[in-house]
Structure 1
Amino acid sequence: MTCGVCGADTPCTPTIFVVDDDEAMRHSLVFLLQSLGQPVQAFASAESFLAAWGKRHAGCLVADVRMPGISGLELQRELNERGDSLGIVFISGHGDIPMVVRAMRAGAIAFLEKPFNDQVLLDHVAEALARSATECARKAGIRFIAERVERLTGRERAVMELVAAGKPNKVIAHDLDISMKTVEVHRAHVMEKMQAGSVAELTRLLVQAGLLPG
């Protein structure tokens, strides 16, 4: 099974990424976060992190807010624009209320001020990993549905949309100016290619992929 987020041949292993320009803090964070049993990768700057960021992954980003060059908040904005599934936990020795509000509104899991309690950080990172895994699975589901839709011919897709809209075969035949027998054939192909056992299941798949309104 391929990963629906990065497209790899197997689902991605959730990874914890640490971005902090303070070398001592970076090493301390890596040592602490390794206790969660997930891979941990560390970077001294947002620029080096982005340069190594070839594909999207499920996981968590623990990042300082104030760093030379690209700040933590700017990094968050860049990742959001890319549609990445990383949960973000910010740490800072000099946070203020507007900064916290901005980070949380943009989807951060938590904003911790240094010095912070180690267990609190671990709890937030575990939450971020769980949320990221859920989002990765959601995107994988959408990807698989889209791949099924791509296997349909243009006429099969037209029939599918009318079937999902609740139209009976007679109406579909009239709307598309084809015979009832042809509708039945296309409908059978649609159900097979979409791997749907019923019209209700077909409709659910299309709603899940955003191809029909909920």
Structure 2
Amino acid sequence: MISEQSVFIVDDDESFRNAAQRVFRSAGFRVEAFESATAFLSGYRPCDEACLILDLRMPEVGGLELLERLRQEQVDLPVIIYTGNADVPVTVRAMQAGAFAVVEKPFSDELLIARVREAITSSRTRRARNATIAAARAKLGGLTEREREIAQCLADGLSAPQIGARLGISARTVEAHRANLFRKLEISASAALAQLVLWAALGDE
């Protein structure tokens, strides 16, 4: 995996590709340019810190088609689409397909660089969030069904007697389950448990 920040440019206009490469390299990015969607799909290597800049209108496979294909294949890469005519239907379709932004020509180099940095930062934040959710779900998934029930009750702020009354078991049994699930989760307080339960209940982005 490439660790430095990278920009991928897909455009059939060679002069634009060359100009964009110079701009982004001067801004400190690693840059790869492709003349078509097909060339990009053949040459793309996954990156954590990257953004794809994509021309809307290209021969054979257009920008929207490539974007939708990337989403179908679950390629985790923020995409900025640019066009000379960003009408409402095109913009809506692009955003629904997962584009980070749609930028209309003409645009300044500074604007494009800023949007790319925003896209990479947003992607990093989302990945970290999803990793936290996955870790919380994995931890809670290691509990028994009864322990998960008690974990949810504890996260809701219920006391051992209240949990016992709800589940039809004794408070002492609740305490025993709580000790076991705290040990399994490697936590020592109900606040930490509540945080785990909250994260696990969140939806992935």
Q: Report the TM-score, using the length of structure 1 for normalisation.
A: 0.74
What's the counterpart of residue 124 of structure 2? 133
Q: Tell me, in whole angstroms, the C-alpha distance in 1 between the residues paired with 2:43 and 2:144.
A: 39
CA distance in 2, matches of 1:192, 1:178: 21
* Counterpart Cα distance in 1 of 2:188 and 2:36: 50
In the alignment, which residue of structure 1 is the partner of 2:151?
160
Q: Is 1:73 matched up with 2:82? A: no
Q: Mind listing any 5+ residue stretches in structure 1 that lack a counterpart?
A: 1-7
Question: Identity percentage over the alignment?
Answer: 38
Which 5+ residue runs of structure 2 have no aligned equivalent? none
Distance 1:40 1:189 in 2: 51
The residue aligned with 2:17 is 26
- CA offsets, 1:180-212, max 9 Å, x none? 333222212323433444323322332223269
Aligned residues: 203
Offset at residue 24 of structure 1 (A): 3.5
TM-score by length of 2: 0.77
CA contact (8 A) 1:85 1:136 kept: no
Q: Quick one: distance in 2 between partners of 1:194 and 1:36?
A: 44
Of 191, 196, 204, which aligns to 1:205? 196
> For 1:209, what is the secondary structure of its paired residue?
helix
Residue 124 of structure 1: SS of its match in structure 2?
Answer: helix
Residues 136-155 of structure 1: pairs in structure 2 closer than 5 A: 136-155=127-146
Q: Distance in 1 between matches of 2:124 and 2:201?
A: 20
2:21 aligned with 1:46: no
Match of 2:78 in 1: 87
Q: Does 1:122 align with 2:113?
A: yes
Q: CA RMSD in A?
A: 3.2
1:185 to 162, 176, 192: 176
CA contact (8 A) 2:55 2:81 kept: yes
CA distance in 1, matches of 2:115, 2:138: 35
Partner amino acid, structure 2, of 1:130: T
User: Compared with structure 1, are the counterparts of its residues 57 and 45 closer, same or farther at alpha carbon in structure 2 (3 Å cutoff)?
Assistant: farther
For residues 174 and 42 of structure 2, the distance between their equivalents in structure 1, rounded to whole angstroms, comes to 51
Q: Give the 3-state SS of the residue equivalent to 2:201 in structure 1.
A: coil
Matched letter for residue 198 of structure 2 = V
In the alignment, what sits opposite 2:161?
Answer: 170
